[in-house]
Amino acid sequence: MTISLGNYFKIILCLICTLTNSSTGKRKCPTFINYIQKKHEIDFPEERYNLQCSDNNTQCLLYVYQEKSFWDAHKICKQLTGDLWVPETDVIIHYDYWIGIYKLLTSDDIDEPVWMTMTHHILNKENWVTDSLIFQDSMNCAVAKAMKSGKWYPTACRRRFFFVCHFKF
């Protein structure tokens, strides 16, 4: 049995919707799906998604295997009611991907850049690569590098990478 792209997308949205409101999610899910479909073009084939949820259903990760700029990836996650994921320091995925960290542009009198999560929390855990030469002014977004054991690298926000959306319930 083949699942059409539209139906696959509806299944993913329904899972997310249902998990966010276990008692009322089933009633709100069709409304949510209709809203998303009206507002956003569905252009992802089903092999470009992988939804994984924790055993206790408190969070889900949606792996999106389509390269997008940082801000486009952020926008997609937000439209699905999530955020770009900030992995723990020991998490390794076998490809480069955007993480939900960006550099706050501040005045020139501050020596060290301030890196924040997409939820506006100043970063207090660090998994940055140690080579300080790669920290340049134009590199305002962060990517986790597969070849460097998941270390975080600053890069230009316009570059295109896969990304992971995080949903916390």
Per the domain annotation, does 81 fall within a domain? yes
E strand or H helix at 27? helix 25-39
> CATH number, domain at 121?
3.10.100.10
Reply yes or no on whether the pLDDT at 103 is more than 80.
yes
pLDDT digits (tens, 9 = 90+) for 77-95: 988 888 999 987 667 788 8
Per the domain annotation, does 22 fall within a domain? no
Give the global pTM.
0.70
Q: Are 106 and 142 in contact (CB under 8 A)?
A: no
Question: Which residue would you say has higher pLDDT here, 132 or 27?
Answer: 132
Reply yes or no on whether the pLDDT at 1 is more than 50.
no
At residue 101, the pLDDT reads 92
Reply yes or no on whether the pLDDT at 156 is more than 50.
yes
pLDDT digits (tens, 9 = 90+) for 12-33: 665 555 555 544 444 444 555 5
d(CA 31, CA 37): 10
Per the domain annotation, does 49 fall within a domain? yes
CA separation, residue 72 to residues 8, 125, 126 (Å):
22, 25, 24
The boundaries of the domain holding residue 112 are 44-168
Reply yes or no on whether the pLDDT at 120 is more than 90.
no
CA angle 102, 143, 15 (to 5 degrees): 90
Q: Are 42 and 82 in contact (CB under 8 A)?
A: no
Question: Which residue would you say has higher pLDDT here, 110 or 145?
Answer: 145
At residue 84, the pLDDT reads 95
Reply yes or no on whether the pLDDT at 65 is more than 80.
yes
Per the domain annotation, does 140 fall within a domain? yes
Reply yes or no on whether the pLDDT at 125 is more than 80.
no
Per the structure, the count of domains in the chain is 1
Tell me the two tokens of residue 122: 């100043």
Residue 107 CB partners (closer than 8 Å, separation 6+): none
